[in-house]
Amino acid sequence: MATQPLRFALIAHDQKKDDLVAFAVAHADFLAVCDIVATGTTGQRILDACPSLSVRRLKSGPLGGDQQIGALIAEGLIDVVIFFVDPLTPMPHDVDVKALMRLAIVYDIPMALNLATAEIIIDNKKNG
């Protein structure tokens, strides 16, 4: 029986999109064998930088993308969330972000909110 690819959700606030794109570029070989969903603009930026990746783009975060990822978590369709958060910029859709984080906690989904934690998760998944 074949193992199912890991299912990653990739999200980044505006001021952190460059960091997430750089992370995706650095780990493109590993991510190429994963199923990836991303919020709209973040997903497009990743595709532009890593055309070899297959990324399912959802709506932009403020337009419901965070909630779409939350629904995928609730359906058991996400294994890891990497969400580069900018704590210094106000978030008009803060309630959506909190709801997404709550679902990751409820369903025991690893969630990286910064580069250091994302690197630990990737290293663990590569070796585990």
Rounded to the nearest angstrom, the gap between the alpha carbon of residue 124 and the centroid of all alpha carbons in its chain is: 16
* Model confidence pLDDT, tens digit, residues 62-100: 888 999 999 999 999 999 999 998 888 877 677 888 899
Count the Cβ atoms, other than its own, within 10 Å of residue 106. 10
Active site residues: 66
pTM of the model: 0.94
- pLDDT of residue 2 exceeding 70: no
Q: How many structural domains is the chain composed of? A: 1
Assess if residue 1 is contained within a domain: no
Assess if residue 2 is contained within a domain: no
Assess if residue 79 is contained within a domain: yes
How confident is the prediction for the chain on average, in pLDDT? 93
Please give the Cα distance from 12 to 19 (Å, whole number).
Answer: 8
Query: Closest by alpha carbon to 82, among 100, 59, 63, 68?
Result: 100
List phi, psi (to 5°) of 89: -115, 130
CATH code for the domain in which residue 25 is found: 3.40.50.1380
Query: What pLDDT is stored for residue 86 in this prediction?
Result: 87
Assess if residue 118 is contained within a domain: yes
Count the Cβ atoms, other than its own, within 10 Å of residue 75. 9
Using DSSP's 3-state secondary structure scheme, residue 52 falls into: coil
Please give the Cα distance from 53 to 93 (Å, whole number).
Answer: 28
Range of 104's domain? 7-127
Mean pLDDT computed over 50-59: 96
